[in-house]
Chain A
Amino acid sequence: MTDKTFASEREEDGIQQKEQGRPPVDEMQTILIKKTMRSGQIIRYPGNVVVMGDVNPGAEIIAGGNIVVMGFLRGVAHAGAAGTDDKIVTAFRLRPTQLRIANHITRAPDEQPEAYPEYPELARIKNGVVVIDRYVPGDKQKA
């Protein structure tokens, strides 16, 4: 990733990445978004992204690190965007349009499922594929 990828493409959207021009932040650093991300809003960040709200359809998070959504994740999430396989995406309700970790892509089923899981889930890479499990607090799920 180049420096430029770390800056928001859509400045009018209010969620802006202020890191442009500075050297890339370490993958371990975390940014906190204290609002719901709405359609058309995009955040690119080299570290972890925590959203205290929902990520609506049409919104997108691209993180070098992990992604944690305290509400509904319905948009697109890409963790480990620099190619690191050990990153995770977790959400209070994990219903993404598309979910990527490093170079692996999964998307929502074309048919709407009868029922969605009503509990927090966690996505990560296991044996080269993205797997989604129920999130268990305290569990050493991180591979």
Chain B
Amino acid sequence: MGEVIVVTSGKGGVGKTTTTANIGTGLASLGKKVVLVDTDIGLRNLDVVMGLENRIVYDLIDVSDGNCRLKQALIKDKRFDDRLFLLPAAQTKDKNAISEQQMKDLCATLKEEFDYTIIDCPAGIEQGFKNAIAGAEKALVITTPEVSAVRDADRIIGLLEAAELPDPRLIINRLRPAMVKQGDMMDIDDMIDILAVSLLGVVPEDEKIVVSTNRGEPAVLDEMSLAGEAYRNISRRLTGEEVPLMNLDVNDGLMGRLRKLFGFSK
């Protein structure tokens, strides 16, 4: 039996899809069997980020409506033999085209076959969010170091607790260490103080993310990308391995705190 993990944030555009693609690819690189489910119906992008758009025939709604079998809708990522698959979102339907129960059933089926089922959640707290979390057992909350993103992450954590998906893990994305150092960006302590959840990883701002998104090759496959390295570490932590936070090339004060924090939150 595998794990079903939803990647969520509340606020839009903070890196849910980027994170889903990268940790999915990262886990497949570690030899795990992974399926990515795009639940952002009407605004699908995970297929583009994965470079699989041109192979879509059937989608999530075709599966839930019974227009095709699950196996037919799963797109295989050729980079990983039989280990990485994508179930794309429908582009022309709306979020009510699938129900929470259908999502639960789907996740229950997928987890029998896959080590990790990773669900890319749409922004917001409406039905799309409820569907995305319905079949999940664990949640990753993505935020950026901005007050509004942290506020939304807090709201989402409250909703996850209410939905009995407790102890979500936090990923801080697009951190700019130089800005933190100058006091122009929220630091990690500030965010953890408010959110009071354990930190799974910190992903730096990295131009390579943009390049890799456009190419359809997740940054986690790029040995030279700092964000890629962060996602490789996060993937390993998800498998239970203890990996220290990477050096984001700032002064020891922050790094010392980072390490302490991570040790703390384990």
Contacts and interface: CB of A to CB of B under 8 A. Distances in A.
Interface stretch (B23-31, B155-163, B199-207): B155-163
B192 to A, nearest CB: 12
A56 to B, nearest CB: 5
B57 interface: no
A57 B162 contact: no
B196 A13 contact: no
A39 B158 contact: yes
Interface string B123-153: 0000000000000000000000000000110
Given A38-B154, A39-B152, A13 B194 contact: no
Most buried by B among A35, A38, A58, A74: A38
A39 B155 contact: yes
Interface in B172-197: 193-194, 196
Contacts of A72: 193
B154 A58 contact: yes
Nearest to A58: B151
A114 interface: no
Nearest to A14: B162
B155 A58 contact: yes
Contacts of B157: 38
Interface size class for chain B?
10 to 19
B194 A74 contact: yes
A10 to B, nearest CB: 10
A35 B159 CA distance: 13
A41 interface: yes
Given A36-B196, A54-B196, A57-B194, A14 B155 contact: no
B144 to A, nearest CB: 16
Nearest to A16: B162
Contacts of B196: 36, 54
Interface in A55-79: 56-58, 72, 74
Nearest to B164: A14
B162 A39 contact: no
B187 to A, nearest CB: 14
Given A38-B154, A39-B155, A56 B194 contact: yes
B158 A14 contact: yes
A12 interface: yes
A14 B161 CA distance: 8
Contacts of B155: 38-40, 58
A36 B194 CA distance: 10
A40 B152 CA distance: 9
A40 B159 CA distance: 9
B159 A12 contact: yes
A54 B194 CA distance: 8
A13 B151 contact: no
Contacts of B152: 39
A56 B151 CA distance: 9
Contacts of A14: 158-159, 161-162
Nearest to B158: A38
Contacts of B158: 13-14, 37-41
Nearest to A38: B158
A1 B162 CA distance: 28
B151 A12 contact: no
A39 B21 CA distance: 28
A41 B196 CA distance: 16
Contacts of B162: 12-14
A13 B154 contact: no
12 contacts: A13-B158, A13-B159, A13-B162, A14-B161, A38-B155, A38-B158, A39-B154, A39-B158, A54-B194, A56-B154, A58-B151, A58-B155
Given A12-B162, A39-B154, A40-B158, 7 more contacts: A14-B159, A14-B162, A37-B158, A38-B155, A57-B154, A58-B151, A72-B193
